[in-house]
Structure 1
Amino acid sequence: MMPNKKFFIFESDACKRFLFSPVDIAPLALFRIFFGILLAWHCFEAIFSGWVLINLIKPKFTFSHIGMDWLQPLPGNGMYYYFGIMGITAIFVAIGLFYRWSLALFTILWAGFYFMQKTMYNNHYYLLMLIGIIMFLLPANRNYSLDAKIFPKIKTNYIPAWCINVMIFQIGIVYFFAAMAKLYPGWLDGSYIQIMLHKQTLPFWKGFYQQRWLHYLLAYSGFLFDLLIVPLLLWNRTRMYAFVAAILFHTFNSIHLNIGIFPFFALSFSVFFFPASTIRKIFFRNVIPQKEELIVYGKNTLKWFFIPYFILQLALPVRHFFIKGDVLWSEEGHRLSWRMMLRSRTGYIKFIIRDNETGKRKVYKLSKILTKRQIKSMKSRPDMIWQTAQKINEKYAQKGKKISIFIDCKVSLNHQPKKVLINPNVDFAKAEWNYFSHNDWILLRD
């Protein structure tokens, strides 16, 4: 007996309504405008603030993601032009001009920037890349755009519901795993919050921010915000309260954490939770009739892209459970996992070079190849430590010298006593990087 096709995904009536019911395009179009403006702001601010100069032009090399060592900044002033082009394409996205071409170019360039440097790693850089990919697949230019004026045949007031639902699901994943990552003692006892406020606060706030009750309040309110904000925004009765809480939360973060556009970017997702009629009334000032028939658009996109995509998005944040050791200490499985503003890592490091012919040892002067900012970021992160050792070995190999590299490294997590992070007996001229499981030269905490 053949199984009823209604049991297959996309074929049940409930699933069809959830995915293909006609919804107003207004929230998606408004998000496109916000998205483009924020991207342009970020790119041009990075140029004029000196961020590009400090992080991409001055360094002799950048810490690319392992396996992408070939991906390095353009020579000379090339990265200024690189970010300038990204800024211009972001403006085109905002106004909806050659939308898909503009967003494709921006996302490719942004992915190149994201993968070419880890010194100033932020989770929202990763999120911007993901949203760029998702938005490329959505018809966000089919109204309130120059494309819709130039090519009126594409204009529509309606899109299938899945175009909104995938955005809600994506931001839900971000917040959920951000909440789960906070379930560790250093967050729950307020110690990381104390460190964070001590670093960031203005002098006249210092006394207030040293109060222990405040550390606990911020720690647990931060956890609850991440855990509950999406469900509360989805529920009509709590939506406005949740939105006000989001404004307060992200405004606080913007003032104290120096995380660029992320607070405003996170707030921009709110447009997907409010009724489209409200969005239209406030921002577009017109009314459209209701539409009843389903819009069966993008079925193959859902099947062949979004299902594998979201499986991967759910798998990456839990991969550290399958790697030996504590991710907070080893950092293995930390990236791409929404482990945001979670811990403080400090320490010291020495790279000891032994000449294999003479047996002589010396401490390598890191300033020969790294900037101060790169050294500060590298000295507590195993992947960057390994990459530094490979770069040092490469420098000596170019001179025809064979060396061994040993590392003296101790790290403190959340201002706890320093412990040895790297096995001092391992020769890093020969050490390899394990992509998918624990690297034995990272010493685990007791």
Structure 2
Amino acid sequence: MISSTHLELREIKICFEFRAPSETMTDLNRASRQQTSQTPKPSIIAHLFTDLDGTSLAVFRIAFGLIMHWEVWRYFLNDWIREYYIWPAFNFPYPFFEWVTPWAGSGMFLHFAVLGILSLFITTGLFYRISAPLFFVGITYVFLLEESHYLNHMYLVCLLSFLLIFVPANRCLSLDKIIIGKGWGTKIPAWSLYLIGSQIAIPYFFGGVAKIGTDWLLARPLAIGLAGFADLPLVGPMFEQTWGLLFIAYSGLLLDLFIVPLLLWPRSRSIAFSLITGFHLLNAFWFQIGIFPWFMMLAGTIFFSPDWPQKMLMRIKSVSRLGQWGVGITGLLGGLIAWAAIGLSLVPILVGILSGLVISWLAIDALWPEEKSLSLPNKTFYTITKSHKVTSILLALWMIFQVTIPLRHYLIPSVVHWTEEGHRFAWHMKLRAKEAKVRFFAYKPKTGEAKSINPLFTLTARQYQKMSSRPDMIRQFSRYLKLNLDPTGTEGIEIRVDAVASLNGRPEQRLIDPKVDLASVKTSKLAKNFWIIPLNNP
């Protein structure tokens, strides 16, 4: 009996034996290693199709649609529809898209009205699978109408609107889910977030690459672009000093190259998001570049954890009442700064408020981190199917395309900011300040007669200003003039130009060979064009 009781007590002692936290962590780590050794390592394709929370993508969809609606409103408000697409007698088409022309009559106003409605559908997630492709077609049509209106951020809008067709951005926070998608769930495949995040990262990274080895490192474009802000209090005098301009130039370079990794890393995320918020606010104030700064501020959240909106709300609820007041004040301060930067405009103020709230949340998380869970990660990896492989191949092809297009100008032995060869679609932003003038002549080789042509009889002032520094657009307009002056070609008229330009403060020099008939000259998109005179002082 004594022996039996002794054994029972010993068993009870073993069952209730105290385990230190460090020993528990050791066991968890050992279990994790055993699980890893027993389970085959998932492939890249398996990771692409892992289920992730869809809230972050939904917030991106809402922000995208809201900012697009604001952009459409700006076109109506500033009468840009009439100025850009109705008044001009000639539009500069993109190569291979000469067949894209503006709608007649009031068609362009109706087109933008439809874009405004579609952008609201995207924001609310209503009829998303129809509104997303229609918006892509509509906004890309507008983009292709006029090459003189090329903007990097509108190119990015076209790319993102295309990608939104394929990602399930209406799984959360959408009317579609309320009306028809009650059984959808809130999970999305990981590739959806990776694809949108990569597309946002590309302008940053290649914008930084483009700054290397150019006038940017000497702050020449900044010296010209910021010359009008020298009278600002506190920071104004810095714009007149070489050290100040170089500080801004190199800060911008480093931010472009490293901001995405810093946003991805949780420990640096608070500082990184504060940096890009300040960076884009300054851009909005200094350069007045439309929707781009405000959109990129919110787009930076795509690099956070997929469920960051829930985490932010729960974290703010968990802090003291005083802390919640601090978060609210920071949000209001963000809205006030946005108001100061751009004036009384609803969308930028909302972006400023949300950015302030996000900065507060990230700061709270950085200063008072929550305890981490000891539970092992639980990811579901699906069996790889043929459709998974096809999707992965398409994703790879898209990324190869996005990486190679910005680098194509390196194949051309010329100064890209002078010749503009390979400049578009390469994410070269604020790297050149060009002053240019161009005169056109209808020249008759048989008689030597040259008749001057005033381009402003056909072009708007904006079209002329953009064209005068871009050789390919000068050539386009020369062909238009030839077709109007000598449609049959029987008179043998040549179109020659006297074009001069100055790049980033350099002395003015000739841009195009004045003896070349630009109406008949052959051009290349991937090779140097002989009729463009090289820059004398690269």
**TM-score, normalising length: structure 1:** 0.91
Give the structure 2 partner of residue 341 of structure 1.
430
Q: 1:96 to 1:88 in 2, by over 3 A?
A: same
Match of 2:48 in 1: 19
Q: Name the SS for the 1:438 alignment partner.
A: coil
CA contact (8 A) 1:405 1:427 kept: yes
The aligned counterpart of 1:155 is: 184
Partner of 1:39: 68
Given the superposition, is the C-alpha separation of residues 209 and 360 from structure 1 closer, same or farther in structure 2, using an over 3 Å criterion?
A: same
Instruction: Assess, with a 3 A threshold, how the Cα gap between structure 1 residues 238 and 60 changes in structure 2: closer, same or farther.
Output: same
Partner of 2:131: 102
SS in 2 for 1:242: helix
* Residue number among 150, 156, 164 corresponding to 1:127 in the alignment: 156
Once the two structures are superposed, residues 70-116 of structure 1 have per-residue CA deviations (whole angstroms, 9 ceiling, x without a partner) of: 21222233222111111110110111111121111111111111111
Instruction: Tell me the amino acid that sits aligned with residue 533 of structure 2.
Output: L
1:291–1:43 Cα change, 3 Å:
farther
Shift of 1:51: 2.0
The amino acid of 2:462's aligned partner reads R
Distance, in Å, in 1 between the alignment partners of 2:283 and 2:263 is: 20
| Contact in 2 for aligned 1:356/1:403 (Cα 8 Å) | yes
1:272 to 302, 309, 334: 302
Task: Give the direction of change, closer, same or farther, for the CA distance of 1:323–1:208 in structure 2 (3 Å limit).
Answer: closer
1:251 alignment partner, one of 281, 287, 299: 281
Match of 1:395 in 2: 484
**Partner residue, 1:442:** 532
1:427 equivalent to 2:457? Answer no
- Of 183, 208, 215 in structure 2, the residue corresponding to residue 186 of structure 1 is 215
Q: Which has the larger radius of gyration?
A: 2
1:26 Cα offset (Å): 0.5
Q: What's the CA shift for 1:279?
A: 1.4
Cross-structure match for 2:381: 294
CA offset digits 1:39-81 (Å, max 9, x no partner): 1110111111122222222211211112222212222332221
| Alpha-carbon distance in 2 for matches of 1:118, 1:12 | 49
Between stretches 434-443 and 222-231, larger displacement belongs to 434-443
Q: Using the alignment, how far apart are the partners of 1:370 and 1:18 within structure 2?
A: 53
User: Cα deviations across residues 311-368 of structure 1 (Å, max 9, x unaligned)?
Assistant: 1111111111111212121111111111111111111111111135654211111112
Superposed, 1:193-342 pairs within 5 Å as 193-199=222-228, 207-282=237-312, 292-294=379-381, 299-300=388-389, 302-342=391-431
Counterpart of 2:115 in structure 1 is 86
- Unpaired runs of 5+ residues, structure 2, are 1-39, 318-376
Equivalent residues of 1:182, 1:342 under 8 A apart: yes
Q: Is the 8 A contact 1:407 1:424 kept in 2?
A: yes
Gapped regions of structure 1 (runs ≥ 5): 1-10
Q: Does 1:406 align with 2:496?
A: yes
Q: What CA deviation, in whole Å up to 9, does each residue of 1:186-221 have, x standing for no partner?
A: 111111111111256776675453233221111011
After superposition, the C-alpha distances for 1:122-175 in whole angstroms (9 at most, x for unaligned) are 101110011111111100112211111121255221112111111222222221
Whole-angstrom distance in 2 between the partners of 1:77 and 1:360 = 43
CA distance in 1, matches of 2:208, 2:197: 16
Shift of 1:401: 4.5
Partner of 1:76: 105
Asked whether the 8 Å contact 2:53–2:187 carries over to 1, the reply is yes
Q: How far 1:20 sits from its partner (Å)?
A: 2.1
Report if the CA contact (8 A) 1:22-1:291 is conserved: no
Match of 1:393, SS?
helix
- Cα pair distance change 1:179/1:365, threshold 3 Å: same
| Deviations, residues 12-50 of structure 1 (Å, cap 9, x unaligned) | 614245312221100001101001001111011111112
* Residues 345 and 380 in structure 1, CA contact (< 8 A), matched pair in contact too: yes
- Report the secondary structure of 1:311's partner residue: helix
Compare relative contact order (CA 8 Å, sep 6+) and give the higher one, 1 or 2.
Answer: 1
